[in-house]
Amino acid sequence: MDSNQLIQKWQDPIYRENMRQAHLGQKSWNKGLKIRLNSGKTHFKKGHKKSKNWYKVMAIRMNGKSNPSYKHGLSGTLELARILVAKRRARKLNNGGSFTVKEWDDLKKCYGFKCLACRKIKKLAADHVIPITKGGPSYISNIQPLCISCNAKKYNKIVDYRILWTNQKLQ
């Protein structure tokens, strides 16, 4: 049946009446549902009333150090995410060890925020001297700051750029 025949069928008043009668006993699609379509959602028990400035109070209460997910002022940053990923990988491979954000910041400050391989000031990544894949722990003593490109070039080789850095500083 093509669309023209269907249109002609629906234009016939007898056909329309028969279809209306056929659907009379059926429930509408939203009858019996427990939710109402245009009701406002609330996260409170019945009878609880929010004050006018409730949202402002909650915004102040959940700001900064009082927020349960506060971590050294870095919650939600890429820096913290990278540290947590390294921590999880070490735990997954049973290598142990972890380092804090403060320890990582102190290490970067110690080397003047420079990559130890290329000696340039770039965005630094925490590189494991002995890679996690080769059994190296994730303690701060096994971490050296490298830029992302130098870290990718090093891959999983055991190269300690910290020795080269100290030798160059002594000369």
User: Which pTM value belongs to this model?
Assistant: 0.55
- What is the mean pLDDT, run by run of 10 residues, along the chain of 171 residues? 72 80 63 51 54 70 68 69 82 86 90 93 92 90 94 93 79 63
Domains of the chain: 78-170 (1.10.30)
- Total count of residues recorded for the chain: 171
For 27-58, write each residue's pLDDT tens digit.
555 555 555 544 555 555 555 566 667 677 77
Query: Where does the chain have alpha helices with state H?
Result: 3-11, 13-22, 54-61, 78-92, 101-110, 148-154, 161-170
pLDDT of 92 reads: 87
Cα separation, 134 vs 148, in Å, equals: 20
pLDDT of 157 reads: 93
pLDDT of 102 reads: 86
